[in-house]
Chains A and B, each alone.
Chain A
Amino acid sequence: MANKKISKKDIAKLLNQWSREFAVFVPSKESGIATMARWDGKDVTLDWYRNTVIPKANFLPAMEEMFRFQKDKESYNIELPPDGGKQLIFGIRPCDARALAIIDANFKNLYQDPYYLSRRDSAVLIGVGCINPSESCFCTSLGISPTESKDVDLMLTDIGDQFLIEEVTDKGKKLIAKASGLGEATKEDETRAKEMKETSYNKVTRKINTEGIVERLIACFDDQDFWEKIAAKCISCGICTLLCPTCYCFDINDELTKQQGTRFRSLDSCAFPVYTKMPMENPRAEKWKRVRQKVCHKYGFFPMSFNAIACTGCGRCIRLCPVNWDITQVLNNLPVKTEVGK
């Protein structure tokens, strides 16, 4: 079956059809920063390479109400938050879509987190490939192409004035079956899309070597000098974790008044000195241990548990870091233990 295509100027019409069934989210800078925002009916701009605030926020918000409680004599009444409805995320990049698949390992497969799943299972992801990856992008080193369709329901590839549409999942196929205003992709369109994909792939120049990464990290885990040196300039802020598409650590807090309260869940960061201080202590009081944890969790412990690296090479942690702490430099300069030194 031939792929479909859509003229860029008709995107708004398409979203309009879908907005009857879904809460449609699109990349937007309306709020003052690039983020996924509720579609306002206007044309959609897709000219920047990725949002600052990750689409992860649509599934694991920076802060969410878990429930409200009210004291009723000897017991409590619990009130759950209303269901947010079905989301359609338009314009998600392949790296950010892969990130959701990575988060699934914990929130869907190992545990079944009702808050996450209520949003994740009903959502539709419509990917748009990157034709201009950023200097900080290194997705190809993590087995992701900037235009790949693996983790979305529909994948759009820029072929000039139009997008080629790949129908990836049944969910995606159903959406397309109901949509109007689409054209049939020609052989030339397919060729053009293939060229665009290849060009984009080759534009990703930042590389890391992931071969044997788990073993290499274990080998240098106790090299305090190395970790202290690379951690020296880190300021222990939460940018690289809170804005990471795969980081999911959270904290839980109650807000109490006399007879009632609200329980909140919000993202937490292993970079913070107060991380896990609520139950006891932070076992990583020193900064170098926290930096080591961040690197080792993504590239060592997570792969050991879930057989996947918890990084998609989106590069936000590099681009947004106030001190230009660069994980690719760290990974490319891991100390190698030589036999002679033994």
Chain B
Amino acid sequence: MEQKLRNEARALLEQGKIDWIIGFEVGSLKFTTTPLITKDKSDTERLVINPFIANNLANFLTQIKGRVGIVAKGCESRSIVSLIQDNKVVRENVVILGVPCTGVIDLSKVEKLVGKDRDELDDIVRERDKVIIKVNGKKKELSTTQALFDHCLACELPTPREYDILLGEPTPPIANPAAQESIKKLKQVAPEQRWASWEKELSRCIRCYACRNVCPACFCQRCFVEETEPQWVLPAPRWQDNLIFQIIRNIHVAGRCTDCGECERACPVNIPLRSLTRGMYDIVGELFQFKAGLDKDALPLMTHYEEKEAEDFFR
């Protein structure tokens, strides 16, 4: 799959079909990859596909001018489709190199289960439905349920539906119910306790805005959180303001969020943000029978209305 990607990417650049290629290359730390954004065809040799391709590359599409070839897992392809729906990306300007994705390894989960920092691990290898951790000459086997990101376990579209070139054989969803456990648990908690729990979690927020900046659905040129007239929230990390920021961000990406999990992964202070975004994703599904990023010709959920809207005031 990796070699095919390199060949295709090089050919596309050579033939002038694209100006840029966006993919992944090996990162500077163990078990990491990093976005590779380049015009240079010789860089295509560095493209990789492995169980650590965590970023949602669709995020870069709105920043780059010209025709772009982009490596897309299922979640990325949905984000791209969602951006097309919102007129943020022109379909003809993108060549989607689809990657059937079997899930990305969550290093934080692995660290917790193995009881060691990622730095201390010798190797992490994905083998079908297992993840093998090598540490101090010993092997420890984890199931994919234990080692993959929750959003990967919950992924409904691991193989892109929208693509130009599919780089491998389609792979079925993992559809593991364990993925929803943490959210289910949170919903069962009494409201007062849930409030207290969010107070604790959001008190750690440092307002780095990584959750917003990694999010392909957060494409606004100006974000409400930085507006000063009026000032909707204090731009300082007080927990109540952090809460308002997250609530409004969630409402703004409703119908656009594809549950790629990047907000939670990027958070440097471990706030379980996916509990909010996935919660909203499910609400959107229940109320509107809408899932983001599945049909590029469908109208975007929040920016159109139909005559038979549920609410009278729309008519």
Which A residues form the contact surface with B (CB < 8 A)?
A: 31-33, 48-49, 52-53, 62-63, 132, 134-136, 232-233, 235-239, 242-243, 251, 253, 255, 264, 266-267, 269, 272, 274, 278, 287, 318-320, 322-326, 328-329
Contact = CB atoms under 8 A, between A and B. Distances in A.
A266 B204 CA distance: 14
In this complex, which of B30, B34, B120 has the most chain A Cβ atoms within 10 angstroms of its Cβ?
B34
Report which residue of A48, A239, A267, A320 has the largest number of chain B beta carbons within 10 angstroms of its beta carbon. A239
Given A135-B119, A136-B29, A319-B29, A278 B228 contact: yes
B200 A32 contact: yes
**Which applies to chain A's interface (DSSP): helix, strand, loop or mixed?**
loop
Given A32-B204, A233-B60, A63 B237 contact: yes
A53 B235 CA distance: 19
Interface string B113-129: 00001011000000000
Interface stretch (B82-90, B150-158, B265-273): B265-273
Interface stretch (B92-100, B208-216, B251-259, B281-289): B208-216
Given A318-B28, A324-B27, A32 B208 contact: no
A287 B204 CA distance: 27
A325 B38 CA distance: 15
Nearest to A268: B235
Given A33-B204, A134-B117, A278-B228, A266 B209 contact: no
A326 B33 CA distance: 12
Contacts of A251: 235-236
B229 to A, nearest CB: 11
Contacts of B59: 235
B266 A322 contact: yes
Given A322-B265, A324-B27, A325-B34, A264 B236 contact: yes
Nearest to B205: A62
Interface in B103-119: 117, 119
A239 B211 CA distance: 11
B208 A237 contact: yes
Nearest to B269: A33
10 contacts: A32-B201, A32-B271, A33-B268, A132-B119, A134-B117, A253-B234, A264-B236, A266-B235, A322-B55, A329-B28
A237 B269 contact: no
A236 B213 contact: yes
B226 interface: yes
A141 B271 CA distance: 33
A29 to B, nearest CB: 10
B170 interface: no
Given A238-B207, A264-B234, A318-B28, 13 more contacts: A31-B203, A32-B271, A33-B204, A62-B207, A62-B237, A232-B60, A233-B34, A235-B214, A237-B212, A238-B209, A272-B209, A287-B63, A324-B32
B49 interface: no
Q: Which of A134, A135, A251, A328 has the most CB of B within 10 A?
A: A135
Given A32-B270, A239-B208, A233 B214 contact: no
Contacts of A255: 234
Contacts of A324: 27-29, 32-34
B279 interface: no
B226 A274 contact: yes
A253 B231 CA distance: 10
A33 B270 contact: yes
A49 B119 CA distance: 10
Contacts of A272: 209, 226
Contacts of A235: 59, 210, 213-214
B301 interface: no
A243 B34 contact: no
A219 B240 CA distance: 46
B213 A237 contact: yes
8 cross-chain pairs, A with B, having the tightest CB-CB distances, nearest first: A266-B236, A238-B208, A322-B266, A324-B34, A237-B210, A324-B27, A326-B28, A63-B236
A63 B55 contact: no
B67 interface: no
A274 B226 CA distance: 7
B296 interface: no
Contacts of A48: 117
Interface string B187-223: 0000000000000110110111110111000000000
